């Protein structure tokens, strides 16, 4: 972003990579896949790079409002300094915080989730598809995308737009079962219970009979992968982000 600013230009989007997209080895692949799509389609975008910092979501959900607001205000300072207008992010937690919680602290941006952008691009026919055998893909709703922000259709439109067969899981849409990560759960050991939430969710994925499950959240990715590993199904069922699904299918 600093380079664009130095040239006195502004890109169409600021891509908010998020901590998982920046540091988590698995999710870095998603970040790269999404960038590749944007570059192929010649959509101009920038990233904040080392100027980006945690949105504060896990701090706020765990109860640490101080830390959240510290993060939020310093991020807003950076974003406003660059005059950012449109933000796209691949993380529903960053998405929710930037879209719904930053405005009250002085950060007003047009924020979209990458599934919305990809669904729009597919609908507009901007993405050329490879000829492929029709495969069945299940979609795991993430709470902060679905229930939180009502985004149920865009991810499904992507799967259908890629000419794949969409398999609905037993609990889906408004009744979608959480992966167990939200509310800063992913940053601590779970409380005592009879079964891990991700194990239960992964069972539903296995029961659907698919070999591929798509999702749209880095934390769901961690949890669902863990659940499938514990079931010993990691070889049989592939976990992909919607951006990877698009990147793998486009020419």
Partner 1 sequence: MHIFLQVLFILVLVGLGYLVTQRFKLIIASIQLARPIELNDNPGERWKRVALLAFGQKKMFQKPLVGIFHFLIYIGFVLINVEILEIVIDGILGTHRIFAPFLGSLYPLLLNFFELLSFGVFVACVVFFLRRGVTKVQRLQPDAHRELQGFPIQDAYTILAIECILMFALWTMNASDALLQERQVAHFEPVGAFFVSQYLMPILSNLSTPVLLILERVAWWFHILGILGFALYVTYSKHLHIFFAFPAAYYSSLEPSSKMSNMASVTHEVKLMLGQPVETNTATPDQMRFGAKDVMDLTWKNALDAYSCTECGRCTEQCPANQTGRALSPRKIMMDTRDRLEEVGKGLAKNKGQWTEDGKSLLGDYISAEELRACTTCQACVEACPMELSPLNIILALRRYQIMEQSDAPAAWNSMFSNIETNQAPWKFNPSDRLNWAKS
Q: What angle in degrees, to the nearest 10, is found between the helix axes of 218-231 and 25-40?
A: 130
Position 43 contacts partner 1 (CB under 8 A) = no
Distances (CA, A) of 166 to 124, 137, 142, 179, 246: 20, 5, 16, 20, 14
The footprint of partner 1 on residues 133-162 (CB under 8 A) is 143-144, 147-150
Half-sphere exposure of 242 (CA within 13 A, CB side): 31
Position 202 contacts partner 1 (CB under 8 A) = no
SS3 state of residue 212: strand
Position 52 contacts partner 1 (CB under 8 A) = yes
Candidates 189, 232, 235, 251: give the one binding partner 1 (CB under 8 A). 189
The footprint of partner 1 on residues 165-184 (CB under 8 A) is 174-178, 180-184
Q: CA triplet 219, 58, 21: central angle to 5 degrees?
A: 40
* Count of all residues that appear for the chain in the document: 251
Position 218 contacts partner 1 (CB under 8 A) = no
Q: Residue 110's beta-bridge partner residues?
A: 86
The footprint of partner 1 on residues 67-126 (CB under 8 A) is 67, 69-71, 73-74, 96, 100-101, 104-105
36 vs 26: CA distance, rounded Å: 16
Position 64 contacts partner 1 (CB under 8 A) = yes
**185's tokens:** 């759960």
Among 43-51, 78-86, 131-139, 235-243, the segment contacting partner 1 (CB under 8 A): 43-51
Name the residues that contact partner 1, by CB under 8 A. 17, 19, 21-23, 28, 31-32, 35, 47, 49-50, 52-54, 56, 58-67, 69-71, 73-74, 96, 100-101, 104-105, 143-144, 147-150, 174-178, 180-185, 187-197, 200
């Amino acid at each position: 972003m600093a380079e664009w600013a130095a040239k006195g230009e502004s890109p169409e989007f600021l891509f908010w990579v998020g901590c998982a997209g920046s540091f988590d080895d698995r999710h870095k692949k998603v970040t790269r896949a999404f960038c590749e799509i944007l570059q192929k389609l010649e959509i101009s975008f920038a990233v904040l790079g080392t100027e980006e910092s945690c949105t504060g979501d896990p701090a706020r959900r765990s109860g640490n409002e101080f830390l959240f607001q510290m993060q939020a205000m310093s991020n807003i300072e950076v974003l406003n300094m660059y005059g950012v207008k449109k933000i796209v992010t691949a993380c529903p937690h960053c998405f929710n915080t930037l879209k719904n919680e930053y405005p009250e602290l002085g950060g007003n941006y047009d924020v979209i989730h990458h599934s919305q952008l990809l669904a729009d691009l597919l609908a507009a026919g901007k993405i050329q598809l490879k000829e492929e055998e029709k495969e069945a893909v299940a979609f795991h709703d993430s709470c902060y995308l679905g229930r939180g922000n009502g985004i149920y259709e865009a991810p499904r439109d992507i799967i259908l737009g890629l000419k794949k067969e969409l398999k609905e899981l037993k609990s889906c849409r408004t009744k979608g079962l959480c992966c167990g990560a939200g509310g800063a759960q992913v940053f601590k050991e779970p409380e005592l219970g009879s079964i891990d939430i991700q194990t239960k969710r992964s069972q539903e994925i296995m029961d659907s009979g698919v070999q591929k499950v798509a999702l749209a959240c880095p934390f769901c990715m961690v949890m669902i992968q863990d659940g499938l590993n514990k079931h010993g199904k990691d070889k049989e069922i592939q976990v992909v982000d919607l951006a990877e699904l698009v990147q793998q299918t486009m020419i």
